[in-house]
Structure 1
Amino acid sequence: MTAPSPGQGRRTGRLALPGVLTAAQAAHTVAALAALQRTDGAIPWFRGHHLDPWDHTEAAMALDAAGEHERAAAAYEWLARHQNPDGSWYAAYQDGDAADPTDLGRETNFCAYVAVGTWHHFLATGDSAFLDRMWPIVYAAVEFVLALQQPGGQIGWKREADGTPVADALLTGSSSVHQALRCALAVAEHRGEPQPDWELAAGALGHAVRRHPERFLDKSRYSMDWYYPVLSGTLRGPRAVARIEGGWSRFVVPGRGVRCVVPNPWVTGGESAELALALWTIGQSERAVRILADIQHLRAEDGLYWTGHVYADDAFWPAERTSWTAAALLLAVAALCGDEPTRAVFRADALPEGLDDGDCC
């Protein structure tokens, strides 16, 4: 990959958010994120660590939000070149090397997220040729994922390395898949290729997330299970607000950020930024900005962000600055600053619903 383009500073000026990032800081973070990308388009967590398809896609979305469209396109081309014959990707690749997968499991939410990134890139660029190239990739990924949908609508969370399906479902993962299905339906509608089976699947999945918590493994100690049904757009309106209010005091540490898991005294940048984005989706922008301001203590001199901070010990942990932490922050800032493609993929009224299950949310 080439170096970040000379005009990057002008483009990242739109990511300046008072109290959170200056234009210069935004440009520094984008350049640091871009520097993690390999020449083949892969974006690992950090150089020398592994790549997973979900976080790789999130990083590509952040690059698009910053105007680095060629870099984002290269990340999607990496996915297109290395998709497995069954429509999946492996859960982890050492340093983004497709020849060196280190986890041969195939996780459904990891695989589905290509649809979110593809639609986001198209909205950011208007590149119809890109959408044509990615359509078979998105189609195969969705079909892989829906083969693990359970009778109750929830999505089994992975296939083991030997192909054995895991029926157990994760609320966070299924919520993410629901957003991805809606983006995939947007791609299909734009191409004039209706997918009624996907509409049925999206309706059943949304109903399961909204109405049937018993269909998912109990991960309620994790903040992602708290906010992800809101972040994904599956919950909106009073129910979404009530969910956020119900978990606020449990997960939010004033002035520090969001706990990853209770009761551990550990706040994490990625979860905090994702919560901020979820808050924006329900109209709580001031709260979102406060959360993003709170996690600036995680910002490092290189423009990246430490994954987390153990505040009981006043220590950054783990000792890593991940691409996906910076990406989550940039996407939250982009939504708050008015970036329309980012807003469109996270806003409930901007995506196809699937078949209405009669459930007002």
Structure 2
Amino acid sequence: MSAIPELEGVITADELRTTAEHLASLQLDTGMIPWFPGGHCDPWNHVETAMALDVAGLHTEAERAYIWLQDTQRADGSWHAYYANDGSVEESKLDTNVCAYIATGVWHHWRSTWDRGFAENLWPTVMKALDFVLSLRRDDGLALWAIEANERPWNYALLTGTASIQHALRCGAQLAEALNEPRPDWVRAADEMALAVRTKPESFEPKTRWAMDWYYPVLTGAMTGDDAKKRMASGWDTFVMEGLGIRCVSDEPWVTASETAECALAFAAMGDTSTATDLLQWTRTHRRDDGSYWTGIVYPVEGGKHDAPVLFPFDEHTSYTAAAVVLAVDAITRTTQASNLFVA
């Protein structure tokens, strides 16, 4: 059995295994992994959770998650944004970033297992998904944020989504090479998107209030080197609550463990494992005995609304939050074969 990642002061191997077992317990017979028992599922966070299962060696459960995506993929290569616990469509829009992320997940699974047969089985699903995303590019090469199944009510692109899509395209291209099905067009599209992320902020709908727009260009490798360091330094005072974690939004004292773990991934991606480890250590406050993690905690500030920290959303502990912690631990410790998915 492969080694289980552990990081001193953050999580032991036994604790990480407990977290993975909690995630596996959420999985339905269909293979779908909801946010929490009885909750809904979105394909992006579903993939992130499948990757966490692979980190812990739960490869069968991860495969069931990808088969669910294969079984529910629409004919055009897309998925709806949200599915209810019974598998029905809860929110119908087709989000390009949500649809692209399967390429990241299947490439991670390949690197985790070297199972060529499974990758070949999922290849048509990955190919249709990425081709769907690229069919929604604007003239400037950026994919629309989302469409409805029969109309295009939005005409804008998102910075975080674009950064994630270009990374998914590169993962898909690596999978394509491994399967002798090269797709250089995916790399060219990723390069064009990454250039826009680095140099054309005016191309995106402004979402600077959200922490993800700060760190995602670095997390996904769209920004590297000095550019990455400058970007992470520029947002530190805005989004970091020292000793507590990362604010989800800049104007509220609301710390989310998923954003904190993802920000740790961004620091790990640029080689700053010390800061990444500090950030992950702060997620301990969110950890529950069953291995799950509270989604968010609102902390009091002078003149604020609360006299003491409160959970927000109340009593919510989400699959994607725990999954983000697991992936960040693996990226820092470089334990598994797929640990450098984000760390070059």
Question: Shorter-chain TM-score: which interval?
Answer: over 0.9
Write the distance in 2 (CA, Å) between the matches of 1:117 and 1:213. Answer: 27
**Superposition TM-score, scaled by structure 1 size:** 0.90
2:190 maps to 1:202: yes
Query: 2:145 aligns to what SS in structure 1?
Result: strand
Decide which of 317, 321, 330 is 1:334's aligned counterpart: 330
Q: Deviations over 1:211-246 (max 9, x none)?
A: 100000110011000000000111110000100001
Partners in 1 of 2:60 and 2:37 — Cα distance? 20
Q: How does 1:2-151 map to 2 (within 5 A)?
A: 14-95=4-85, 97-98=86-87, 100-151=88-139
Q: 1:285 deviation in Å?
A: 0.4
2:92–2:148 CA contact under 8 A, matched in 1: yes
Distance 2:235 2:188 in 1: 31
Query: Could you tell me whether the CA contact under 8 Å between 1:155 and 1:167 is conserved in 2?
Result: no
Aligned to 1:192: 180
Any runs of at least 4 consecutive aligned residues in structure 1 with deviations exceeding 4 A, and if so which?
Answer: none
Q: State the AA in 2 paired with 1:181.
A: L
Instruction: Find the aligned partners of 1:249 and 1:199 in 2 and give their Cα distance.
Output: 34
In structure 1, the residue matched to 2:152 is 164
The answer to whether the 8 A contact 2:334-2:340 is kept is no
The one of 312, 317, 340 aligned to 1:317: 312
Matched residue type, 2:58: E
Q: CA deviation at 1:191?
A: 1.7
SS at match of 1:75: helix
Instruction: Provide the C-alpha distance between the structure 2 equivalents of 1:161 and 1:197, rounded to a whole number of angstroms.
Output: 25
TM-score, normalization: structure 2?
Answer: 0.95
Aligned residues: 336
Cα deviation for residue 157 of structure 1 reads 0.6
1:239 to 220, 227, 231: 227
Find the residue that maps to 2:4 and give its secondary structure. helix
SS in 2 for 1:167: coil
Q: Does the CA contact (< 8 Å) of 2:49 and 2:320 recur in 1?
A: yes
Please tell me the residue identity of whatever aligns with 2:104.
V
Aligned AA (1:232): T
CA distance in 2, matches of 1:148, 1:211: 21
Q: Specify the SS of the correspondent of 1:320.
A: coil
Structure 1 unmatched runs, 5+ = 1-9, 349-361
Q: CA deviation at 1:268?
A: 0.2
Deviation at 1:340, TM superposition (A): 4.2
Alignment map for 1:172-191 (pairs within 5 Å): 172-191=160-179
Structure 1 letter corresponding to 2:12: T
Q: RMSD across aligned C-alpha pairs, in angstroms?
A: 1.3
**2:202 counterpart SS class:** helix
Question: Cα distance, 1:334 vs. partner?
Answer: 1.0
